[in-house]
Amino acid sequence: MVTSERKPYLLDFEKPLAELENRIEQIRELATENGVDVTDQIRQLESRALELRHEIFSNLSPAQKLQLARHPRRPSTLDYIQAISDEWMELHGDRNGSDDPALVGGVGSIAGRPVVMLGHQKGRDTKDNVQRRFGMASPGGYRKAMRLMEHADRFSMPIITFIDTPGAWAGVEAEQLGQGEAIAYNLREMFRLEVPIICTVIGEGGSGGALGIGVGDRLLMFEHSVYTVASPEACASILWKDAAKAPQAAEALKITALDLKNLGILDDLLVEPIGGAHSDPLKTAAILKQALLHHLTELCQLNNSERRELRYQKFRRIGVFMELSA
């Protein structure tokens, strides 16, 4: 897992908790220096800090969950792969002259089961983010992903994808190289694959960029991740001509894991440690690994035609609604 000694990045709603925890640490240090026993006071403050943590993270708005999904210290695809796999070998290139660092993948194993894992990869700092285009994959990235998935299908290995992107790269060069076609091809071909496919939204699932590796038998989402047809900022700019109304758009778009669970789109909502995935990455990875193994066991009990039919029906049900007359 990636670690850092730098000052932790704090969101606005995290600051009261951080201030209380800093106060506790200061009192502990002063007590140690002066030989004073403040055990009872520290215990009370720690209890209050735990209560405050629960209060904050159990009442987050969709806009605040979006902030958590975009948190720069949130575990990434490579973090999860390193934490949950027994072994892992990254594979490069789309065999058409491109190797997109915004979408990574390769062959590995989980609990002794060979799998192909791939996903969007954001950077940890400005330089890394620029190199990886903030996790926004190019056409070459989606073609690389499809090459890896076809490899998995050929050798009967389950496919695990990790979704974490604001959307597909929207540069002029991406359009010249066929961004729309690359994503559409993946959507069609992922329905054809015969091996189990599990897709997990680990952070931000944005638009077609997410869907390009998002067609699967099961959709998992972490508690504070989001999945949306357009970013709240873009939605607010389109509907109200004002990006400042993004929080209102986030509410209306129904982008949270709980929203998608209630809409019947999500198959499994993964509860994060109190404080978010970045507060305890190893525990978060253990939660993900357990869920993946559970769903893999269920899916591997079905034959190929059963899985393909269930996958087809799963997506046919999305968006179906009934109007009741007066």
233, pLDDT greater than 50: yes
> Whole-model pTM?
0.88
Distance CA 291, CA 297 (A): 10
If one counts every other C-beta atom within 10 angstroms of the C-beta of residue 98, the result is 15
pLDDT in tens, 268-296: 999 999 889 998 999 999 999 999 999 99
The pLDDT tens digits for 189-203 are: 999 999 999 999 999
The residue whose two tokens read 């400042």 is 244
CA dist., res. 199 & res. 116, Å (int): 12
Confidence of residue 112 (pLDDT cuts 50, 70, 90): very high
Find the Cα–Cα–Cα–Cα dihedral 72, 107, 198, 288, rounded to 10°. -50
CA-CA distance, 71 to 9, in Å (whole number)?
A: 8
Q: What is the helix (H) or strand (E) element at residue 264, kind and residue range?
A: none
Residue with tokens 């190929």: 304
Cβ(80)–Cβ(272) under 8 Å?
no
Q: How far apart are the C-alpha atoms of 165 and 206, rounded to whole Å?
A: 6
111 in Cβ contact with 293 (< 8 Å): yes
pLDDT at 16: 82
Nearest to 160 by CA among 317, 291, 262: 291
- In 3-state terms, what secondary structure has residue 165? strand
CB crowding 105-130: b at 16 or more within 10 Å, else e: bbbbebeeeebbbbbbbbbeeeeeee
Of 26-30, 60-64, 307-311, which gets the smallest average pLDDT?
A: 26-30
Name the packing angle between helices 232-239 and 246-253 (round to 10°).
Answer: 100
Nearest of 319, 325, 200, 210 to residue 267 by alpha carbon: 200
pLDDT of residue 283: 96
CA distances from 152 to 29, 51, 98 (A): 54, 46, 20
The rounded mean pLDDT for the chain is 90
